[in-house]
Amino acid sequence: MADKIAVAGALRELGMLLEVQGENPFKVRAYENGARALEELPGDLDEVIAAGTLTELPGIGKALAAKIEELARTGRLELLDRVRGQLPAGIGELLRIPDLGPKKIAALHAALGIGGVADLEAACKDGRVREVKGFGEKTEKKILEGIHRVRTAATRFRLSDAREIGYGLVRMLRATGAADRVELAGSARRWKETVGDLDIVASSVEPARLSAALAAAPGVESVVAKGDTKTTVRLAGGLSVDLRVVPPAEYASLLHHMTGSKEHNVRLRALARDLGFTLSEWGLERLDGGGKVPIHAEEDVYRALGLEPVPPELRQDSGEIEAAREGRLPADLVTVEDVRGMVHVHTSWSDGRASIEEMARAAEDMGMEYLTVTDHSRSAAYAGGLDVGRLEAQWEEIARVQEKVGIRLLRGTEADILETGALDWPDAVLEKLDVVVASVHSRMKMDQEQMTRRMVRMLELPVFKIWGHATGRLLLEREPYGLDMETVLDAAAASRVAIEVNGDPHRLDMEPRHLRLARQRGIPLVLSTDAHSVAGLQNLPYAVMTARRAWVTRGEVLNTLPFSEFAARVRPG
């Protein structure tokens, strides 16, 4: 099983290292484009290689295809090893610092001999970086912040990357035929937004075969611990994987234990003790000597303790145990199947990669009833934002595509929230739209008071809007905007707005604890993908599961409504 995220990462690294060496920008860009094509590849990389269709992917020519095959087959790339050898070993680390691109690194290397993060940190602190042409005191400060961020981020991974790698390993272990059951557990199974390590649970009577298969998996850099029932490996990207293998009778108990969260388990264990049991990874046992309670499925653990079964994404000790005991767990938590429309979608009219028709057909194939086209407004010039003329031309295109597809198309926008809190379109245009998503894309570093005021002004506008990626966080990359959340949500509750749960795996915004505050105020929600490509539409489960972690029910989500009701609820005017 080739790990396409790891292959993409290697190509990206190669492109950046070549750029540090001053290689031609077109060549450099080709690696970046190839990496993106792989990341957006919906299927299995091995299958594409076997079918010989790699070169049919956008931006992948013969030479790049050969490199991808080499990486997929051997886990290495000779050229990458060579280029790494030509540069100081710390350059790769430097590339992970935000705002510090290959060109700047090359300049710092040439001027100060900087070859790693420790050198750079010392040079910033001594004020030597500001002496280099093109750098200043401000850059120095930003670099130091970036170093701090990289150091904290290095210990966790984005959920989507972790799940992709984790399920790749699960499929590989299932394919060995040596296991009855294999499942991903831990935080990745609970859909926590970042993951520390992967936990895989299996049942087998031949545990050694599974440990050996994991140790030999492509992408494994080192085997940290290897026994018959417990194996830990470290993958090339730095992610660790714990595998536990038990006999079939103990599997469900172990899966439950390893899924966590730890806090949830601790509470359950205390409850079990009160009821005269002991609960552990080995199972549930009566304290009076009555023996083990047979556990065939996770649900049995809950039922034996008089609880409703709790789905993994709710296991965080935030009220789920009390609710399960009183039979109050919501029966109508929103599901992927409940969602009837794609609400926040970009096309090639702005910075998306597919046409309106391609996005429409893809959404229709997913069973969607409607799709709202929400390309950027003109302030987002970097993203090809539309002016009034192009927006009107887009409406004609939407009408033409509507003739050809069954899915209902709505005329939308993702309007920038300007510094003042105004939206980036005149009222006359807003009134003609079917859907307005309002988001911040610029001036993100305002202080809390200013940003709160900006958002409150936006919320108070009389037009109905969907507040897009509300806090602006990029997981492991960018902190949320400073916002007084209670104040902003009070304003939202009193205004015409729905809040988006953005399922872009880099965002997952707004996050569950804030969604709960929004729900307490009765603010309606919208689940979206913010897709910029056909593949991006497949991120819907990330929005749904983020919402479920906040106990969001079907009735609280506007895009579970049928087309005409949805359109009426979100109409701006």
Chain residues binding ligand DGT by CB under 6 A are: 186-187, 192, 195-197, 199, 257-258, 260-262, 265-266
Residue closer to Zn ion by CB (options 181, 411) is: 411
Q: How many CB atoms lie within 10 A of CB 25?
A: 12
What residue is closest to Ca ion based on CB? 186
> Residues 126, 119: contact at Cβ < 8 Å?
no
Residue closer to ligand DGT by CB (options 258, 293) is: 258
Residue 197 near Ca ion by CB under 5 A: yes
Question: Which DSSP state fits 539?
Answer: G
355 binds, among Zn ion, Ca ion, ligand DGT, none (CB under 5 to 8 A by kind): none
Residue 193 near Ca ion by CB under 5 A: no
Residue closer to Zn ion by CB (options 6, 540) is: 540
CA distances to 204, 253, 287 from 250, rounded to whole Å, are: 10, 6, 18
Residue closer to ligand DGT by CB (options 239, 518) is: 239
| Residue of 530, 534, 542, 548 interacting with Zn ion (CB under 5 A) | 530
* CA–CA gap between residue 75 and residue 236 (Å, rounded): 9
Distance of closest approach, residue 48 Cβ to ligand DGT, in angstroms: 31
Residue closer to Ca ion by CB (options 157, 467) is: 157
414 binds, among Ca ion, ligand DGT, Zn ion, none (CB under 5 to 8 A by kind): Zn ion
Residue closer to Zn ion by CB (options 231, 471) is: 471
Torsion over CA of 51, 52, 53 and 56, rounded to 10 degrees? -170
**CA torsion through residues 292, 293, 294, 295, sign:** negative
Residue 438 β-bridge partners: 415, 467
> Residues 76, 70: contact at Cβ < 8 Å?
yes
Distance of closest approach, residue 162 Cβ to Ca ion, in angstroms: 9
| Residue of 3, 39, 250, 414 interacting with Zn ion (CB under 5 A) | 414
266 binds, among ligand DGT, Zn ion, Ca ion, none (CB under 5 to 8 A by kind): ligand DGT
Distance of closest approach, residue 404 Cβ to ligand DGT, in angstroms: 45
Q: What does 210-262 look like in DSSP terms, one character per residue? A: HHHHHHTSTTEEEEEEE-SSEEEEEETTS-EEEEEEE-GGGHHHHHHHHH--H
Q: How many CB atoms lie within 10 A of CB 258?
A: 19
Distance of closest approach, residue 504 Cβ to Zn ion, in angstroms: 8
530 binds, among Ca ion, Zn ion, ligand DGT, none (CB under 5 to 8 A by kind): Zn ion
Helix (H, G, I), strand (E, B) or coil at 117: helix
> Residues 554, 547: contact at Cβ < 8 Å?
no
Distance of closest approach, residue 379 Cβ to Zn ion, in angstroms: 13
Residue closer to ligand DGT by CB (options 192, 519) is: 192
Distance of closest approach, residue 186 Cβ to Ca ion, in angstroms: 3
Residue 500 near Ca ion by CB under 5 A: no
Residue the block writes with tokens 């299927």: 43
Residue closer to ligand DGT by CB (options 158, 469) is: 158
Distance of closest approach, residue 159 Cβ to Ca ion, in angstroms: 11
Distance of closest approach, residue 166 Cβ to Ca ion, in angstroms: 10
Residue closer to Zn ion by CB (options 193, 530) is: 530
Spatial neighbors of 95 by CB under 8 A, at least 6 apart, are 13, 16, 17, 20, 102, 105
What residue is closest to Zn ion based on CB? 530
Size of the site for Ca ion (CB under 5 A): 4
260 binds, among Ca ion, Zn ion, ligand DGT, none (CB under 5 to 8 A by kind): ligand DGT
Distance of CA 222 to the CA centre of its chain: 26
**Taking contact as CB under 5 A, which single stretch among the options 234-242, 309-317, 321-329, 449-457 is the one that binds Ca ion?**
234-242
* CA–CA gap between residue 435 and residue 568 (Å, rounded): 10
4 binds, among Zn ion, Ca ion, ligand DGT, none (CB under 5 to 8 A by kind): none
In three-state form (DSSP H/G/I as H, E/B as E, the rest C), the secondary structure along 61-97 is CHHHHHHHHHHHHHCCCHHHHHHHHHCCCCHHHHCCC
Q: How many CB atoms lie within 10 A of CB 330?
A: 15
| Residue of 102, 186, 312, 512 interacting with Ca ion (CB under 5 A) | 186
> Residues 438, 458: contact at Cβ < 8 Å?
yes
Distance of closest approach, residue 61 Cβ to Zn ion, in angstroms: 30
Residue closer to Ca ion by CB (options 94, 173) is: 173
**Taking contact as CB under 5 A, which single stretch among the options 17-25, 52-60, 409-417, 441-449 is the one that binds Zn ion?**
409-417
Residue the block writes with tokens 């031609």: 24
* CA–CA gap between residue 52 and residue 44 (Å, rounded): 13
Residue closer to ligand DGT by CB (options 197, 369) is: 197
* CA–CA gap between residue 44 and residue 46 (Å, rounded): 6
Helix (H, G, I), strand (E, B) or coil at 434: coil
Residue closer to ligand DGT by CB (options 165, 483) is: 165
Residue 183 near Ca ion by CB under 5 A: no
Size of the site for Zn ion (CB under 5 A): 2
Binding mask 242-281 for Ca ion (x = CB under 5 A): x---------------------------------------
Residue 197 near Zn ion by CB under 5 A: no
Residue 13 near Zn ion by CB under 5 A: no
Question: Which DSSP state fits 179?
Answer: -
Helix (H, G, I), strand (E, B) or coil at 560: helix
* CA–CA gap between residue 423 and residue 420 (Å, rounded): 9
Residue the block writes with tokens 């897709």: 531
265 binds, among Zn ion, Ca ion, ligand DGT, none (CB under 5 to 8 A by kind): ligand DGT
Residue 168 near Ca ion by CB under 5 A: no
Q: How far apart are the first and last CA of the chain?
A: 52
Q: Is 542 exposed, middle or buried (0-12, 13-18, 19+ CB in 10 A)?
A: buried
* CA proximity to 41, closest of 474, 518, 51: 51
Helix (H, G, I), strand (E, B) or coil at 14: helix
160 binds, among Ca ion, Zn ion, ligand DGT, none (CB under 5 to 8 A by kind): none
The residues of the shown chain that bind Zn ion, judged by CB under 5 A, are 414, 530
Kindly list the residues in this chain that would bind Ca ion in the complex (CB under 5 A). Answer: 186, 197, 199, 242
